[in-house]
Amino acid sequence: MPAEIVPGPSGYIPTPAVFEEVELSPPGYGLYLGQIVDELTAMREAARAMLTRRNPTIFPGPKILWGWNAHAMEEAKAILELSAEIPNCRIIPMPDYRPKYPKIDPEAEINPNHPNLTILHNKIEACIFVGVHCHYANLSLRMIRAGTNCFTIALCGELGHEDAMVSIRDLTPEKIRRFKEVLIEVREELGIHHSPTPPPENPSLPQEDFQTLSVLDYGEYSYLLLPRKDEQVTDTE
């Protein structure tokens, strides 16, 4: 019998859900609290958490932030549409996976090596991971369950995540939009009145002028950018 995977804090060191017999859901199904459920149920429970818990936040990862392809761009658009439907929703990116010393800015980003800093600083009680590579998402989900009371939701392009409270697999832009529709339905059932509002600008990130933007403006993230055709990159680490 698989264990129930509930919001933490679960203690000093978490027991991985896999060790407690939680298995990834088959195609067409999701996970809710470690149990395999139909996808609609998983979406409804995820929506309920994002609508009723404090400081709902979406954490987009590199597959969306840096995915230079039409699929990633469409997913990014769908995530923005989803975020606009969630009252007081914020977006805090997970731009990469390297540990940051001595400390990240928890308002600017979340990092898989110490995701609890961002969760605790912003008092986030419900969050969505999307576009994060599975290995790093699993690290984060487990650490968040260990030390915070955050309800975690994984929207995964692959097979899903046992350590999330809700896991939805095989993500596509269409599925994100279906989740948005389910969320609107649940919001109406809960009697929450809300008109679509884009999330606020991230206060810790400088405004970008796309007319004059250069690779150098990306600072330590500049290595993530592809050089343009025929561009010669001479600087190396």
Partner 1 sequence: MPEQRVIDADELILKTERQRKFITGAQAMAEAVKRANVDIAIAYPITPQSEVMHLVGDIWAQGYLRDYYRAEEEYGAMSAIAGAVRGGARAFSATSGPGLLRGLEAIASWPGHRIPVVLGVLTRVVNAPLSIQPDNVEISYLLNCGMVVLHAENQQDVFDFTLAGFVISEKVDVYIPVAVCTEGFFVTHAKGYVNMTPEDLKLPPRDPYKAPVPPTDCEIPPARIQRDAPVQKSNFMSYLIHAVWQQEIWSSNRRAMKYINHYLGGPIEVVNEDAEVFIVASGCAAAQGREAVRYANMEGLNVGLVKVKSIRPFPEKQIRQVLSNAKAIIVPEHNIVGWLAKEVKACIPNSDAVIGGPRVYGGMTLPVELIMEKVYDAFGIKKSKKVVV
Tokens 């010393």 -> residue: 101
Q: What are residue 58's DSSP bridge partners?
A: 91, 128
Binders of partner 1: how many residues, by CB under 8 A?
41
Minimum distance from CB of 217 to partner 1 (Å)?
Answer: 18
109 near partner 1, judged by CB under 8 A: no
Q: Give 189-195 contacts, CB < 8 A, sequence gap 24+.
A: 190/48, 190/51, 190/52, 192/51, 192/87, 194/85, 194/87
149 near partner 1, judged by CB under 8 A: no
Tokens of 77: 């658009």
Among 31-39, 49-57, 191-199, 229-237, the segment contacting partner 1 (CB under 8 A): 229-237
Among 44-52, 141-149, 174-182, 192-200, the segment contacting partner 1 (CB under 8 A): 141-149
User: 209 CB contacts (<8 Å, ≥6 apart)?
Assistant: none
CA distance 174 to 29: 16
Of the candidates 106, 137, 105, 102, the one whose C-alpha atom is nearest the C-alpha of residue 124 is 106
- Indicate the helix (H) or strand (E) that contains 140: helix 134-147
Q: Which of 64, 78, 82, 143 binds partner 1 (CB under 8 A)?
A: 143
Mask of contacts with partner 1, 12-51, x by CB under 8 A? -xx-xxxx---xx---------------------------
Peptide bond into 9 cis (omega under 30): yes
Residue with smaller CB distance to partner 1, 108 or 134? 134
Q: What are residue 32's DSSP bridge partners?
A: 35, 166
Among 30-38, 50-58, 100-108, 191-199, the segment contacting partner 1 (CB under 8 A): 100-108
Residue with smaller CB distance to partner 1, 15 or 41? 15
131 near partner 1, judged by CB under 8 A: no
Binding site for partner 1 (CB under 8 A): 13-14, 16-19, 23-24, 62, 97-99, 101-104, 112-114, 116-117, 133-136, 138-139, 142-143, 146-147, 158-159, 162, 223, 226-227, 233, 235-237
